[in-house]
Structure 1
Amino acid sequence: MTTASPAPTPGYDWFLSQDSGIARLAYGVEASDDLKLGLDCSAGTGKVDLVALGKSGMSEIYLESGGETERFPAEGEPSQLHDGDLLTATVEADTPVLQRFRRLGWIAQWVDGERAVYVPQPGSATQVERFFGLCG
């Protein structure tokens, strides 16, 4: 595993939104349904709900950031917008892989042996820290 910061993907970024005490950090294309990974939390709870795309029948979300890895048991249901399943898992915000993501600003998801890296565009890495600050 590498700790060097990978390059951002053109057109993709991390977007932070807040509504009624709920914070959402989403990686994808702005103002579209093209979501790669979502993190949701209620302010101050210390819990994060992960939302990710996976192959049909998958039962885990496998994340990596800067050498830290974690496999989270997940519930899956068929995605209405993409091939495969929409996976969800609730985890502690202080899980090592999420804390490494908080420090580095990027995270990767492994699906069926393939690694997809979610890197912020220049200037938007602060969204990651703001999200974790809100979650508590």
Structure 2
Amino acid sequence: MEPEDVVHVLRNMVSAVKPSGLVLDLQVIRPDPRVELDGRLVCEIDGQPLFRLADAAAEAVDAAVADGRLREEAVDDHDVRKHYRTGADLVDDFSGKERKLPAEAVPTVRALRRPCVVRERCRLRRLATYAPKLEE
């Protein structure tokens, strides 16, 4: 998927929402995702492949707010954690994905025999479309 595809989908989605309808926009944001064990950093994951698309989507949402197609009502930045039974499960989950664990960290992560997590920062935005203006 390319950034322009994300922008196209967003435009279609906004035009399909009824007047005064709500749009929830969830984006991954910086910093890079972290692999953690017991709250301690094991390694960071290069988030750039996903940030490339997320940045394009965020810019499209910002443009829709700036030109009046959407109104931003609330923003919540928060952590999202994906839990894994073992490090091997985590490594397997990342195989074949654009985002990669650092090659030098794979043996360390794979050797984790206890539950671990990937922690990512995300931004949830509540947006609304404008109601049409009533003619007087």
TM exceeding 0.5: no
Does 1 or 2 have the higher relative contact order (CA < 8 Å, sep 6+)? Answer: 2
Higher strand share: 1
Q: TM-score, normalised by structure 2?
A: 0.25
Higher helix share: 2
Q: TM-score, normalised by structure 1?
A: 0.25
